[in-house]
Structure 1
Amino acid sequence: MSDPIVDIKKLWTVFPNGEKKAVVHKDLDLTVERGEVLSLVGGSGTGKTVLLRQMLGLEKPTQGEITVLGRPAAELGKQGAASRVGMLFQQGALFSAFTVLENIAFPLRELKTLPRALIYEAAMVKLQMVGLGPDAADKMPSDLSGGMIKRVALARALIMDPPLLLLDEPTAGLDPESSDSFVSLLRSLHRDMELTVVMVTHDLDTLFELSTRIAVLAEHKVIVNDVPKEVVAFPHPFIHEFFLGERGQRAMELLREYPFTV
């Protein structure tokens, strides 16, 4: 087996909390293998999004090691390393003063190494890859629907053709039809671009339709990291409440009827 895309060992994350300290992660271990869609789930305060930001090098853990694509996560952003990881933030995080095409092109423009015409040609290709036509290129973020914002933000995350894509609640705020369409898009891009994906989501339909493995955060660590069927069977109060309630049962039934395999 090849080296993992993400390798986290003995991770501690501690934040100040008045006179005390809040421990979010304690001796957390996690690996993400090439080509999989690994989903992170857990209760409020378990540090799911914090973990994504640490993988991206935006936050530094208190102690422990995070290796991403064979390099320390802290090095991302240096010497063009950030081009190896794409990030889709929960609300899209588009620049309000830029057009759609300018938003998508922004990471390439920041490199200052490519001709302007080539940059915008690449941005237009990514715009079409996420299912938007040329007529969307000159729109402003304020003119976009929630689903379009997600697609533009995804196009920007993929502009460098990164092998690793991080998703923070990718279907949050979308209506069921838009959510289903976006999940289908993510599935096809994962396959066609041979992406490795790490996703934080609380949406059970998205979780079961996309995940090849699920890592559950509880008690400051990853308590189980396995295929969905094995995770659901793992004996833990959070897992029972999260997966085996009414919504979880419906999602599991959908999985049995329309199984997703990579």
Structure 2
Amino acid sequence: MTAETTPAPEVVRIEGLWSVFGKGSESFAVHQDLDLTVRKGEMLALVGGSGTGKTVLLRQMLGLMHPARGSVTVLGRPAELMGGEGAASRVGMLFQHGALFSAFNVLDNIAFALSELGTLPPDLVRDAAMVKLRMVGLKPEHATRMPADLSGGMIKRVALARALIMDPPLLLLDEPTAGLDPNGADEFCALVHELHAALGLTMVMVTHDLDTLFALATRVAVLADKKVIVTDVPARVAQFDHPFVHDFFQGERGRRAMADLPTAAEEH
């Protein structure tokens, strides 16, 4: 008889979530009775069709939206209490197009959240930002460049360094490889995978890219019908009986991306 494996601690717990926009008769729900759990150390990919509220769900985890019903708990606290001071040290966010401050150079972009705290001397803030700069594969000479002078891949790396400046235990990624060419996407996935392992991060990412999903995700949660309809390892989710899942995973790109995956039995 083998000993039961103790589940990793919960980092995100969502129960009975309703995400509602508008008021009165004009209101509509993007999520209804949505449940989801993200455990420490995993990388969960959120997939779903247009309008299923993937990015809305990230905003709920960040505390930028409040549930109309239900609850969102992040790192043991209600997410709605994290939208203000202190949120940056608990949750990092990589935005789809980087969202760098155009008037700041690379180092100032990376250091922004730490600088805003005002609790450390400028020299220490700069040193911390340089550590993150190197961590994402950039060189010291890149520190003084402006965002307009960066390639798409470098913008992603700077944005990732900025998201990590406070050493958050949870990192959210919105379409992390969007806008990158195949080689750039592969390199960025390799970097994220390396940092995930080295830092013991918990990551939640929204992605439409199957190669990114299969390269990074330890589990996949599918949003459809206003809730999470299935959560499992990628190979098993791909076999789930639902029209969106079939179209997403069983098309030509999906079959090609899954060709080299281990079987569900091998992953068990």
Overall identity of the aligned pairs, in %? 67
User: Any unmatched runs of 5+ in structure 1?
Assistant: none
- What is the alpha-carbon distance in structure 2 between the residues aligned to residue 75 and residue 86 of structure 1? 16
* Corresponding position of 2:141: 135
Deviation at 1:110, TM superposition (A): 0.8
The secondary structure found in structure 1 opposite 2:114 is helix
Name the CA distance, whole Å, in 1 between partners of 2:64 and 2:145.
29
2:61 pairs with 1:55: yes
What residue identity is the alignment partner of 2:197? R
Residue 232 of structure 1 corresponds to 238
Residue 125 of structure 2 aligns to a residue in which SS? Answer: helix
Q: CA deviation at 1:150?
A: 0.4
Q: Which residue of 2 aligns with 1:105?
A: 111
CA contact under 8 A between 1:232 and 1:244: conserved in structure 2? yes
- Over the aligned positions, Cα root-mean-square deviation in angstroms equals 1.5
Equivalent in 81, 96, 102 of residue 90 of structure 1: 96
- Structure 1 residue 3, shift from structure 2 partner: 3.3
Aligned partners of 1:212 and 1:17: how far apart in 2? 38
Query: What is the alpha-carbon distance in structure 2 between the residues aligned to residue 168 and residue 102 of structure 1?
Result: 22
Q: Distance in 1 between matches of 2:23 and 2:116?
A: 37
- 2:204 match: secondary structure: strand
User: Contact between 1:99 and 1:138, CA under 8 Å: does it hold in 2?
Assistant: yes
In the comparison of the two structures, how many residue pairs are matched? 258
TM-score in terms of structure 2 length: 0.93
2:235 and 2:261 in contact (8 A); partners too: no
| Distance change in 2, residues 1:145/1:59 (3 Å) | same
Partner of 2:3 in structure 1?
Answer: none
- TM-score of the aligned structures, taking structure 1 as reference length: 0.95
The equivalent position to 1:21 in structure 2, one of 27, 32, 35, is 27
Question: Does residue 126 of structure 2 align to residue 120 of structure 1?
Answer: yes
1:169, 1:136 → 2: CA distance? 24
Give the CA deviation at 1:58: 1.2
- Show the 5 A alignment for 1:165-180: 165-180=171-186
Indicate conservation of the 8 Å contact 1:209/1:255, yes or no.
no
Superposed, which structure 2 residues align to 1:1-262 within 5 Å?
1-16=7-22, 19-256=25-262
Per-residue CA shift, 1:48-89, capped at 9, x if unaligned?
Answer: 000001101111121110000001101114452430110000
* Deviation of 1:20 (Å): 3.0
Q: Which amino acid aligns with 1:200?
A: V
Structure 2 residue ranges without an equivalent (≥5): 1-6
